[in-house]
Amino acid sequence: MWQAALDGWSIWTWRNFFDRVHHDTLMSLAKRKVGDWVVLSLIDRYLKSGILEGGLTSARTEGTPQGGPLSPLLSNILLDELDKELEKRGHKFCRYADDANIYVATRTSGERVMVSITNYLSERLKLTVNQSKSAVDRPWKRSFLSYSMTWHRNPRLTVAKKAVARFKSKLKMVFRRGRGVNIKKTIEEAGPKIRGWINYFRYSELKGVFDELDGCLRRKLRCIIWRHWKLPRTREKNLVRRGLTKATAWKSSVNGRGP
């Protein structure tokens, strides 16, 4: 599949997907798969459950409840029609929930498929494609579930640049709060976030991203320790303990360039 993706791809994202699901379309598809009228009645009531805003309840005419445990399953019932349509057309594709990539051979093919599938989604499934996030481009210039790939003939999975930037931004807030607390507390707060991020991206085949992140984390922690030392004499003493000469340690302590 990755080989077929080298010459171009289309990435599709639905605008506010869970807010735009057409109830009648979804129920008609659910009836094909569910024969129990009690279950269908419960699904219908679930879809039409009211929206609480400002203490007032308003009727829901489209969409599924955000965060509801049933919403992902209902989305798959709806988008299963898209999967079958793409298979029928012979396209290679990946889909997870409301994110989907379609892999084609050329840019011209991608543009043609994009128009065709957009029309299918609009007319058949009553969904709106988010044009601002959809594009025809090379695979290594796009991301899917925060993963991307290299440009080589035999591409490898890697972490998307935007995912790295978002993660650094989250850690920045943790380290900013850590300036006035014990360094151990900062590490305890950042630890679960780091482990969760690394576990999610464990399928990445490039080590450089993690080496860069490791260096960034170490620099941030050193900056916090440096601020905790405060006085030049304290900094000099602690640098000497770590192996620097007194002259080098004093010069570093008063250089005026900050952490």
Residue 130 pLDDT > 50: yes
Q: What is the pLDDT of residues 27-80, one digit of tens each?
A: 888 888 888 889 888 888 887 776 666 666 666 667 777 777 787 888 888 889
Query: Token digits for 162?
Result: 């935007």
- Which of 52-56, 72-76, 101-105, 245-249: highest mean pLDDT? 245-249
Check residue 55 and give its pLDDT.
64
Check residue 17 and give its pLDDT.
64
Query: Token digits for 135?
Result: 């594009």
pTM, entire model:
0.72
For the beta carbon of residue 143, count every other beta carbon within 10 angstroms: 19
Query: Token digits for 208?
Result: 């450089």
In this predicted structure, which of 48-52, 120-124, 131-135, 248-252 has the lowest mean pLDDT? 48-52
Q: Which residue has the higher pLDDT, 218 or 73?
A: 218
Residues 62/22, Cβ–Cβ less than 8 Å: yes
Q: What is the pLDDT of residues 224-243, one digit of tens each?
A: 999 888 899 999 999 999 99
Give me the sign of the Cα torsion angle 61, 62, 67, 70: positive
- The mean pLDDT of the chain is 83
* Burial of residue 119, with CB atoms counted within 10 A of its CB: 0-12 exposed, 13-18 middle, 19 or more buried: exposed
Residue 1 pLDDT > 60: no
For β-strands 147-149 and 51-53, DSSP reports them as: unpaired
Check residue 57 and give its pLDDT.
65
DSSP string, 33-84: H---HHHHHHHHHHHT--EEETTEEE---SS--TT-TTHHHHHHHHHHHHHH
What is the arithmetic mean of pLDDT over 88-114? Answer: 87
Q: What is the pLDDT of residues 3-16, one digit of tens each?
A: 334 344 444 444 45
**What's the CA gap between 75 and 83, in Å, rounded?**
12
3-state SS class at 53: strand
Give me the sign of the Cα torsion angle 187, 191, 192, 197: positive
Check residue 7 and give its pLDDT.
41
Q: Which residue has the higher pLDDT, 247 or 100?
A: 247
Q: Which residue has the higher pLDDT, 12 or 93?
A: 93
Query: Token digits for 9?
Result: 């791809």
3-state SS class at 51: strand
Q: What is the pLDDT of residues 194-217, one digit of tens each?
A: 999 999 999 999 999 999 999 999
DSSP secondary structure code for residue 180 in this structure: G
